[in-house]
Structure 1
Amino acid sequence: MSVNLSKGQKISLDKEAGTSLTRITMGLGWDSVKTKGFLGFGSKTESVDLDASCVLFDDSNKVSDIVWFRQLKSRDGSIVHTGDNRTGAGDGDDEQINVDLANVPAGVKSLVFTVNSFTGQNFSQVENAYCRILNASNNQEIARFNLSVQGAHTAQIMAKLYRHNGEWKMHAIGENGNGRTFDDLMPQITVHL
């Protein structure tokens, strides 16, 4: 059974999954809002390009690697982005980042997942947006975080996975921000490390 996360909530991934997790998938999904045409006739959907990113931090809270649409795999190969979706069209996850937790280097303390509107539209032009964590072994959803908070922000720091006493935990951050890439969010991200 999946946990619907609220802003600021922290959970143990192993406890929620009922098993020791070795591989997870972070899925991001969204739809563009349809706009009504003149006098209510016709409608159009403007493409919105949301991008999922994963920033890896070491024990000193310094960036050790980044996985995003311009670098689809971490240098060590433990984290892989499935590719850039530029429209949000279709059902299910539009972008996924797969994490092999057992092979994330020991020096990596936390993974921060962000979503940015690369095309610059704000979240009022997006609906049904979410991020979710799946047990990659059986595709069972462990946790879901609703991102469709309508507003003028163009980015969000979604969640942080971090090591604590030998297990991975998740902190649903859900903090709105602005910027076309994760780099624009770095001052906000460092507050949560």
Structure 2
Amino acid sequence: MAISLNKNSSVSLAKEAGAGGLTRIALGVGWDMVKPTGFFAKLSGGTADIDLDASCLVFDAAGNVVDTVWFQKLTSDDGSVRHSGDNLTGEGDGDDETISVDLTRLPASVETLVLTVTSFRGQTFDKVANAFGRVIDLSTNRELARYDISESGSYTGLILASLKRSGGEWVYKAIGERAAGVHVQQLVDQSRRLI
């Protein structure tokens, strides 16, 4: 059973993965749109697609960004981090966007991955429902940890979580820090301060 995390809590993924070890993971992000009601629902036809974008900032031990994976760059330079592609609506069940990481191919200089979510069209997170971030062991397709985002508000970006090397293990931390920004580059400085 997956570990359910609260804001600022963390879990060792090696311990959750078990004896087989951890080699490949997916960082999944999902969301739904808040359904408009009343007069505004009639004006909009009842729908208002939310285009959230999951992105991954790759940091070295000195806090420098060495790579960024997002909808305009789907694969890291070394090929170890891959984005599933841009979901423009958030429709459907499960993960809306996924970032896969081959931990065995990450350069030794990489210390931290930061998962961010931004609202491309500038819609705020008070229009988002049922948002979550999770980690899946791709060897077993088992969910290891999940962070349900319960806070809504008038912000356009979220520093969702980090994945950090610690004593030879990978530790997943639910950050849940609100941010202002509609693309990942606008969240670099704030992300750096949080790792």
Residue 31 of structure 1 corresponds to 32
Q: Which runs of 5+ in 1 are unaligned?
A: none
Q: TM-score, normalised by structure 2?
A: 0.94
How far apart, in 1, do the equivalents of 2:87 and 2:117 lie? Answer: 12
- Using the aligned pairs only, state the percent identity: 49
Q: TM-score, normalised by structure 1?
A: 0.95
Query: 1:152-193 deviations in whole A, cap 9, x for unaligned?
Result: 111111111111111111121111111101111122111122
Distance 1:60 1:29, change over 3 A: same
How far apart, in 1, do the equivalents of 2:3 and 2:194 lie? Answer: 22
The one-letter code matched in structure 2 to 1:77 is G
* Secondary structure at the counterpart of residue 38 of structure 1: helix
How far apart, in 1, do the equivalents of 2:61 and 2:39 lie? Answer: 55
Pick aligned residue for 1:53 from 52, 55, 59: 55
Distance 1:23 1:36, change over 3 A: same
Of residues 62-71 and 143-152 in structure 1, the stretch that sits farther from structure 2 once superposed is 143-152
- Cα offset for 1:37? 3.5
Distance 1:76 1:39, change over 3 A: closer
Query: Does the aligned pair in 2 maintain the 1:123–1:148 contact within 8 Å?
Result: no
- Taking only aligned residues, the RMSD between alpha carbons, in angstroms, comes to 1.5
Residue 164 of structure 1 corresponds to 166
Distance 1:35 1:111, change over 3 A: same
Residue 182 of structure 1 corresponds to 184
- Cα offset for 1:150? 1.3
- The count of aligned residue pairs is 193
- Cα offset for 1:41? 6.5
Of residues 45-54 and 147-156 in structure 1, the stretch that sits farther from structure 2 once superposed is 147-156
How far apart, in 2, do the equivalents of 1:148 and 1:185 lie? Answer: 21
Distance 1:66 1:40, change over 3 A: closer
- The structure 1 segments of at least 4 consecutive aligned residues displaced by more than 2 Å after TM superposition are 37-43
